[in-house]
């Protein structure tokens, strides 16, 4: 079972897990949902101890909405990657930790 920082719960066997082990024995696991969206990226050391979890949250249209880096939660606004879209699915605003809010503007051709 995976419990997401946004309060979502994924039952056992509801996510696909791909695990890759590097030459040092460290393992990266990627958990994806039935739509193929990455929900969780987990890094384990050679002993199998979880070192870092990065969670991805999607809006109702399936667009990436928030990324929670290791150790962050919904109340850690300055640590979370946040995206805001317009009706045409263009990114209007993007907040990356440690940077100022980025605002995008598009012409009539969405360029």
**What DSSP letter does each residue of 77-90 carry, written as one string?**
GGGSEEEEE-TTS-
In sequence order, the 6+-apart residues with CB closer than 8 A to the CB of 36 are none
* pLDDT digit string, tens, across residues 33-70: 999 999 999 999 999 898 999 999 999 999 999 999 99
The string over 16-29, giving b where at least 16 C-beta atoms fall within 10 Å of a residue's C-beta and e elsewhere, is eeeeeeeeeeebeb
What pLDDT, on the 0 to 100 scale, is given for residue 89? 93
What pLDDT, on the 0 to 100 scale, is given for residue 77? 87
Strand, helix or coil at 107? Answer: coil
Give the burial class of 30: count Cβ atoms within 10 A of its Cβ; 0-12 exposed, 13-18 middle, 19 or more buried: middle
pTM listed for this prediction: 0.86
Share of the chain above pLDDT 90, in %: 77
For the chain, the average pLDDT equals 93
- pLDDT tier for residue 110 given thresholds of 50, 70 and 90: confident
């Amino acid at each position: 079972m995976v419990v997401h920082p946004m309060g979502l719960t994924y039952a056992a066997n509801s996510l696909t897990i791909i695990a890759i082990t590097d030459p040092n024995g460290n393992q990266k696991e990627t958990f994806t949902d039935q739509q193929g969206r990455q929900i969780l990226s987990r890094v384990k050391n050679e002993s199998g101890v979880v070192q870092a979890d990065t969670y991805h949250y999607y809006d109702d249209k399936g667009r990436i909405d928030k990324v929670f880096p290791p150790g962050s939660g919904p109340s850690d606004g300055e640590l979370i990657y946040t995206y805001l879209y317009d009706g045409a699915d263009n990114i209007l605003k993007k907040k990356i930790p440690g940077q100022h809010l980025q605002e995008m503007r598009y012409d009539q051709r969405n360029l």
